[in-house]
Amino acid sequence: MSDALVFVLFGATGDLAKRMVIPAFHELHTRGLMPDRWRLVGNGRGDVSHEDFHQHVKEVLTEFGGGDPSGPEWDDFTTHLRFAGGGFEKSDPGSLLDVLHEAEADLGEARYVHYLAIPPSAFRKVTEGLAEHDLVEGSRVVYEKPFGTSPESFHELDELVHSTMDEEQVYRIDHFLGKEATQNLHVLRFGNQLVGRSWCADAVEQVQIDVPEKLDVADRAEFYDATGAFKDMIVTHLFQVAAEVAMEPPASMRAEDLQDARESVLAAFRPLDPEELVLGQYEGYRDLDDVPDDSRTDTFAAVRLWVDTDRWRGVPFVLRSGKMLGTDAQVVSLVMRKPEGPLTHIPGQGVLQFSLKGSGAIEARFVVKEPGPDLSLTRTRTVLDLGQVAEGAALPPYVALLHDVVEGDRSLFTSSAGLDAAWGAVARVLEQMPDPTPYAPGSTGPAAARALTGDVGWLADEG
- Binding site, by residue number, is 11-18, 45, 145, 175, 179, 213, 232, 323
Euclidean distance between the first and the last CA atom of the chain, given in angstroms as a whole number: 51
Told to judge if 114 belongs to the known catalytic residues of this protein, a careful annotator would answer: no
Whether the CB-CB separation of 29 and 37 falls below 8 Å is answered with no
- 147-153's contacts with Cβ under 8 Å and 24+ in sequence apart are 147/120, 147/123, 147/172, 147/414, 147/419, 148/120, 148/419, 148/423, 149/120, 149/226, 149/227, 149/231, 150/423, 150/430, 151/423, 151/424, 151/426, 151/427, 151/430
- Residue 281: phi and psi, rounded to 5, are -140, 125
- Which residue ranges make up the annotated binding site for substrate? 175, 179, 213, 232, 323
**DSSP states along 73-114:** HHHHHHTTEEEE-S---SS--TTHHHHHHHHHHHH-S-EEEE
- Which residue ranges make up the annotated binding site for NADP(+)? 11-18, 45, 145
CA distance 174 to 334: 22
Beta strand residue intervals within 91-172, DSSP E: 111-116, 140-143, 170-172
At residue 347, what is the residue type?
A: P
Classify the phi-psi angles of 86: left when phi > 0, otherwise alpha if psi is within -120 to 50, otherwise beta: left
Name the maximum alpha-carbon separation found in the chain: 83
How far, CA to CA in Å, does 202 sit from each of 145, 198, 207?
35, 7, 13
Catalytic residue among 26, 80, 186, 237, which?
237
Whether the CB-CB separation of 382 and 394 falls below 8 Å is answered with no
Beta strand residue intervals within 3-91, DSSP E: 5-10, 38-43, 81-84
Catalytic residue numbers, as ranges: 237
